[in-house]
Structure 1
Amino acid sequence: MPLFGVIAAKLAKRPVALCDAGDVDGIASAALFKRRHPNGYVELAGPTDVRRWWVKLVRWDFVADLPCPGRAKIRADHHKTNKPCAEAEFYDPEAPASAVLAARALGLEGDEVARQLVEAAVQTDTAHVTDPKIKLLDLAVRYAGKRQKLVAVEKLAQKGLAAVDEEPLRSMAERGLEKDQLVAQIAGSIPAEETLFIYSPTHLGISYRLLAIELERKGAKFVNILVRRGWRTYRLYCGAHRDGPHDCAEVATRMGGGGHKYAAGALIKAPLLDLEKPLRDLLAALRPPAVYVLGDCNNLKMPCRSIQVMTRGSNER
């Protein structure tokens, strides 16, 4: 259990950090913490994990790119839907990435490795990746498991983007490149419409956030992807044009999640006796012109267009 690691760190008087596990911004923020505190302990988690009892029990020294877990000395965050609560808040919903604020909070603004990590976070979080090495880091992180991500945090803290050329990040990036080809294939099968609603009845082992970005590059202004992750669990990914009228944070908040105007998400639990309610609720709220299903339309009580896909699973969150 992660709590035991945190307790051991506390007993050893090591500073403890809680950072988002889902993307480069969270991983870069964790690496910044380790650069400032080489003996520090990092726990990686998702936005919904901060609600767990043991997370709320801990007094965290540093929290980044996540909602406040309850007790924290310092928190760096830029999400519109996350309310401040730490003793020292480095919070700015207009910041391009939480790592920008994390570097400031940790006193690393003049550090070259920190500058590289912040740039990686900004490029990936704004979906404007121009550096090939940052693209590889993004793919490596999106398809990595928790243990791999923790190793990546250590390597990035020591070497910055140079770590992408070394193991294990190099192999992680190669795996990500294979998945990226599948994302491009799926995006190529979906018409370039201004508003898109996509339903994935099973997790296909891809980054749905990257799929939304790819569809936006093709011309979509508003993309909602609902993925069924289990018997009752759904995950919403929303992407919108920054200057458009659509607000993903509003959509995600309505479904119990949060995020930014241009990118947001939610983890949704269906009622025990109505397992398709999240899908119906989202369709009723958005009223999309068409529903594209990644797979067969079997047993779906709605007009849909099937997009046939063949793939395997992954660790992507």
Structure 2
Amino acid sequence: MDALRVLAAKLQKRPVALCDSNDVDGIASAALFKRKYPEGVVVLAGPSEVKKWWIKAFTWDFVADLPCPGKAKVRADHHKTNAPCAEVEFYDPEAPAAAVLAAKALGLEEDPVARELVEAAVQTDTADVRDPTVKKLDLAIRYGFAEEKLAAIEILAKKGLAALDEEPLKTMAARGEEKEKLVLAIAERVPPRETLFIYNPVHLGISYRALTIELQKRGAKFVNILVRRARRRYRLYCGAHKDGVYDCTKVAVPLGGGGHKYAAGAQIKAPLLDAERPLRTLVEMLKPDVVYVLGPCNNIGPRCEEIKLPESLDALMRSGSGER
């Protein structure tokens, strides 16, 4: 469907953008593009999806908060693991958010709505959310569905954070607030330690990035969460204190991922005949004193300690489901 949308846009000579789907920074960058080019078409993708053949087949007018998709005219990004590649690069690994660079690339630095969106991206991407409205936007985007996010981009481009008073953002934010309660309940059960390695054998439909941030607020300096999303498919979430000695890229990059020193991740696929290897690999790499498991240990190893889940999530674990 997205490929057809881009093809139609190309035939109509409308500009096309590719932006990160996962967080406020990517969504804000997409909204900035739509503010500059209301007739433009936005496609949302995760970092691992830019390798898809159809994404690499097109020349993108604007790319933000993502690795190079192959052919791009302008790209705005701040991930040190994403090498520059576009005809015109707005690339600065020291920038607090890609949206800062996107606003510059699009000539919107003095636009009041754009400045509001950039500030929201900076607060969320640096895990320093001070504005309750930005917090609400963060929750909305974390738990929004793909079509909701595209609709949200349209209204954010026109109204900025005032869009939170309208649909679909109202429903998205309400959903996020309920999910946040589960994240806080889990964080409450995890022992306060400087370094934490957590394994989740079933995806629970929560934001694990939000969980890393919450655990850091409670004293952790280095958090790695490995989530098993299918029999052979895993996702790593890493969070580290920005001013500490730990570097998340040193964990994520060897596993085929990327990100920042203080936040990185990786999609990991296990070998066909060794579905447990990613867990063993992370244990060997991180050498944790203990592996904390969200749910039963189930022979994880002698260093395993179970974290009892809230009842609503425990039911999901028993049923073997939980992913939206």
TM-score category, normalised to shorter length: over 0.9
Q: 1:270 — aligned with what?
A: 270
AA in 2 matched with 1:171: T
Residue by residue over 1:83-114, the C-alpha shift from the partner in whole angstroms, topping out at 9 and shown as x without a partner, is 00000000000000000000000000010000
Matching of residues 166-245 of structure 1 within 5 Å: 166-245=166-245
Q: Percent identity?
A: 68
Residue by residue over 1:280-306, the C-alpha shift from the partner in whole angstroms, topping out at 9 and shown as x without a partner, is 001101001111100111132442111
Q: 1:13 — aligned with what?
A: 13
Shift of 1:194: 0.4
1:105 and 2:109 aligned: no
In 2, Cα distance between the equivalents of 1:299 and 1:190? 20
Residue by residue over 1:243-280, the C-alpha shift from the partner in whole angstroms, topping out at 9 and shown as x without a partner, is 11110011100111000000000000000000010110
Name the SS of the counterpart of 1:293 in structure 2: strand
AA in 2 matched with 1:287: K
Q: 1:308 — aligned with what?
A: 308
Name the SS of the counterpart of 2:212 in structure 1: helix
Call closer, same or farther: CA 1:105–1:45 in 2, change over 3 Å.
Answer: same
Moved over 4 A (4+): none
Count of residue correspondences = 315
Whether the 8 Å CA contact 1:143–1:314 is kept in 2: the answer is no
Q: 1:62 — aligned with what?
A: 62
1:251 and 2:251 aligned: yes
Residue by residue over 1:33-73, the C-alpha shift from the partner in whole angstroms, topping out at 9 and shown as x without a partner, is 00000000000000010001100000000000000001000
In 1, Cα distance between the equivalents of 2:174 and 2:140? 8
In 2, Cα distance between the equivalents of 1:230 and 1:205? 13
Q: 1:37 — aligned with what?
A: 37
Q: 1:291 — aligned with what?
A: 291
Q: 2:94 — aligned with what?
A: 94
TM-score, length-scaled by structure 2: 0.96
In 2, Cα distance between the equivalents of 1:175 and 1:314? 15
1:134 and 2:134 aligned: yes
In 1, Cα distance between the equivalents of 2:230 and 2:258? 21
TM-score, length-scaled by structure 1: 0.98
- Structure 2 gap segments, 5+ residues each: 317-321
In 1, Cα distance between the equivalents of 2:192 and 2:165? 35
Whether the 8 Å CA contact 2:140–2:169 is kept in 1: the answer is yes
Residue by residue over 1:101-144, the C-alpha shift from the partner in whole angstroms, topping out at 9 and shown as x without a partner, is 00000000010000000000000000000000100000000001
In 1, Cα distance between the equivalents of 2:301 and 2:185? 27
The CA RMSD measured in Å over matched residues stands at 0.9
In 2, Cα distance between the equivalents of 1:305 and 1:140? 32
In 1, Cα distance between the equivalents of 2:168 and 2:50? 28
Shift of 1:307: 1.1
